[in-house]
Chain A
Amino acid sequence: MNDTTSNSSSSVENSYSKRAKRWKLVIVGLIASLIITVIISLNIGYTFISYSDVLTYLGTRIPGVNSFIDVTSFSREQIANQAIILDVRLPRILSALIIGAALAASGTIFQGVFKNPMADPYVLGVSAGASVGAGVAILWGAGLTFFGFPIVPFAAFLSALATIFFVYSISKVGTRVPEMSLLLTGIAISIFLAAIFQTMQFMTTDHRLNLLVNWQIGSITNVGWVNWWSVLPFIAVGIVLSYFYARDLNMLSLGEETAKHLGVNSERTKKVLLVIGSLMTAAAVSISGLIGFVGLMIPHITRLLVGPDHRLLIPASVLLGAIYLIVCDNFARVIGGSMEIPVGIITALAGGPFLIFLLRRSRQKYRM
């Protein structure tokens, strides 16, 4: 009895002292998978372009590498293909990447802060707020731009932020923001704003109805470089900052008071994390519409795979979310032939069964 105890205990010690190395391996593996996914995805599409050409075209945009590539020798077909890779497929794939990453990151943050498995990036009303802004822009602002930005994402982003701010200030009690009050206010405001959006859909009968419906399902069809560059800073900074708070999120899962006892400034950490999560989500949905499932399920799936420690969970979720959305978008591009299916449908169709499979496999072990 004593022998087995000391054996299993020393293995515990071992596994913990090798933990940092193991985590690095997981992250490096996921980054490699992400790069491979991007390259494979560049190859997928209506026009066939070989992998060597794909890499060549990519190389023309990489400083240092491009001096070895003779662009002037490109045939007319190659020039056209270069444009397909660099200006059609690449921005779309990279958009899927950052949107997937942003939704997964903020889903992880919200589930962590609220200690609630039902929490997702939309729980504070980001989605409904963005919908109303986008709806107004689609119905009455068609074709307008704002300092060069398309009006729809811009309106969606602003109204999403306004909604969160509103939810937050209603929930505030003194200097504290109780979690339950935030969740309930978020749900109430979401339902109210969703009703406004549905009214817009109901009253619209022309081609704009299609745009509204598409927005609500979420799709990356019309995302270009301008959109990509305009939301990238929010998402990149958000992900880096959330990683900064990873250990604090671990402490918060022991309860706000205990986190305080362990040296975490709980109230401030919670507020900062809510702002980060909301900004990332607002940025992501502003260019893609409401892609569901990723923000709710990717954190759960990742937790099943790598455990609950946020120092690994956050980067792993981010990478898995990115890979997942790129793969789903590939299906969206090719599965329906000439008619594209919104990627939001694919994410839910594929992810639901997969999560249930994982849950059933480890039903004994998994608790949020």
Chain B
Amino acid sequence: MVTLNVNGIDCRYGSVKILANVSLEVTPGCFLGILGPNGSGKTTLLKSISRVLKPHGGSILIDKEDIYKLKPKYVAKTMAVVSQHNDVGFNFSAMDVVLMGRNPHLGNFQMENTKDIEIAKNAMKLTNTWKFADRPINELSGGEAQRVIIARALAQEPKILLLDEPMSHLDIINQIELLDLIKKLCQENSLSVIAVIHDLNMASRYCDKLLLLKAGIVSAIGTVEQVITTDNIQNVFGINSIVRKNPLTNSPYIIPLSPKKTSKEKEKNHSIHIICGAGTGTPLLKTLHDEGYNISAGVLNNADTDFETCEILKILSISDPPFSAITDKAHKANLTIIKNTNTVILTAVPFGIGNIKNIETAIEAAKNGTPTYIIEETPVETRDFTNEKIATKLIQQLKKHGAIPVKNQTELLSNLKNQTLKN
């Protein structure tokens, strides 16, 4: 049981400042995730804690003792490190490498005894590497070798484990297994863990505490809920995001959005209303949103994928309860919106008696002279589920009023671009 304290450390490479006044505390059993963009000083922070790079100011303490004053072997008994790059110089077997984790526990000429071999074996079983214990590590795949290196760290029987992007070589199943294992060791053996993790959602799901680094400065530190917020993500990574709850784990879940092209005034002033549904509008909503257009959608029903998309992207939408026909109220609201809209788009949505009014809205727009596009990825006849093919007839009517049919999203976008250029 040890507590690690980092007190206001500064690190420089030459004259370039990498870390400034970074402090953190890790108590037994705590899983701390370090997050931050490339070059924010995450690896440098780990190197300082692991005695590789002595900070120029501040102190790093294990149970109130300065780690740079402790004996290397003593520190190695307490703290194990899994680095990003692990190139093994000779043809050592996986078992050889894991046994090297016993080094700090051995005397000068002492050989590994059966107890050490047992510990190494257990570490390899935990990381699912025992089955290739006798294979040369240089012949293993990246992910297998990575797990051997983690087994080596566990064989050290550390109280603190530092991991620098431990999942970079692992596939999804091994990522989950590794993080499950580490979490278990935290909870059952009170292992303290500090891990640099790139995947924000994995970090949020597994860590107890998070530290957000930006340009060498601690931008946020605390519980997952305190750190994973739209504002923090925007501030540190410069990206728009939506934070929701992972429905299965209840941990904050981030959906990153493409950076908005902010400079385009024309798109911002150009309003588009999209008539969609059944998921047919989602790619278009996302694309036009990213392009910076001022968009709205409707009428949708609020169990629809397109409705979800609007919610996530914070797009104004008009909606009705699920499994009901379009209500008069919603229809009127829709008609009001299109009066002040520059462009209206009708996607290749399937039509039934419930959403037939949406075509009428489009006709209204076309009558008013608003540029109206019909996306016809599939012919309307194949998705007209009304009796007597009412929808098909209405679409023909819509075309008569000057709506422009386009084959797909690409054609639509080029038309839109021309239109905005003319304005």
- Residues of A that sit less than 8 Å from B by CB: 5, 8-9, 12-13, 15-17, 19-20, 112, 115, 244, 247, 250-255, 257-258, 260-265, 303, 307-309, 311, 365-368
Q: Which residue of A lies closest to B133 (CB)?
A: A12
Q: How large is the interface on B (under 10, 10 to 19, 20 to 34, 35 or more residues)?
A: 35 or more
- Indicate whether B23 reaches chain A with its CB closer than 8 angstroms: no
Q: Would you call A263 and B97 a contact (CB within 8 A)?
A: no
Q: Would you call B50 and A261 a contact (CB within 8 A)?
A: yes
| Nearest 3 Cβ contacts at the A-B interface | A263-B76, A253-B89, A308-B90
Q: Would you call B134 and A12 a contact (CB within 8 A)?
A: yes
Bound together, the chains give a CA A115 to CA B97 distance in angstroms of 16
Min CB distance B23 to A, Å, is 23
> Given the known A-B contacts A12-B134, A258-B86, A367-B91, are A250 and B100 also in contact in the complex, defined by CB atoms under 8 Å?
yes
Contact residues in A for B89 (Cβ distance below 8 Å): 112, 115, 252-255, 368
Q: Which residue of A lies closest to B73 (CB)?
A: A263
Q: Would you call B131 and A263 a contact (CB within 8 A)?
A: no
Contact residues in A for B92 (Cβ distance below 8 Å): 250, 253, 308-309
Min CB distance A58 to B, Å, is 32
Contact residues in B for A309 (Cβ distance below 8 Å): 92, 96
Q: Would you call A251 and B136 a contact (CB within 8 A)?
A: no
Q: Which residue of A lies closest to B97 (CB)?
A: A254
Partner of B87, one of A244, A255, A261: A255
Q: Would you call B72 and A258 a contact (CB within 8 A)?
A: no
Partner of A16, one of B47, B50, B76, B112: B112
Q: List 22 A-B contacts (CB under 8 A).
A: A9-B121, A12-B133, A13-B121, A17-B114, A20-B111, A244-B108, A250-B96, A253-B89, A254-B86, A254-B97, A257-B50, A257-B52, A258-B81, A260-B50, A261-B80, A263-B73, A263-B76, A263-B77, A263-B103, A366-B91, A367-B90, A367-B91
Q: Which residue of B lies closest to A5 (CB)?
A: B131
Most A CB atoms within 10 A — which of B85, B91, B95, B99? B91
Min CB distance A311 to B, Å, is 8
Apart from the given pairs A260-B51, A261-B52, 10 other A-B contacts in the complex at a CB distance below 8 Å: A247-B106, A250-B100, A252-B89, A255-B86, A255-B89, A263-B103, A263-B104, A303-B91, A308-B92, A367-B91
Min CB distance A288 to B, Å, is 29
Q: Would you call A9 and B133 a contact (CB within 8 A)?
A: yes
Bound together, the chains give a CA A196 to CA B329 distance in angstroms of 100
Q: Would you call B81 and A261 a contact (CB within 8 A)?
A: yes
Most A CB atoms within 10 A — which of B101, B103, B113? B103
- Indicate whether B75 reaches chain A with its CB closer than 8 angstroms: yes
Min CB distance A17 to B, Å, is 5
- Indicate whether B88 reaches chain A with its CB closer than 8 angstroms: yes
Q: Would you call A308 and B103 a contact (CB within 8 A)?
A: no
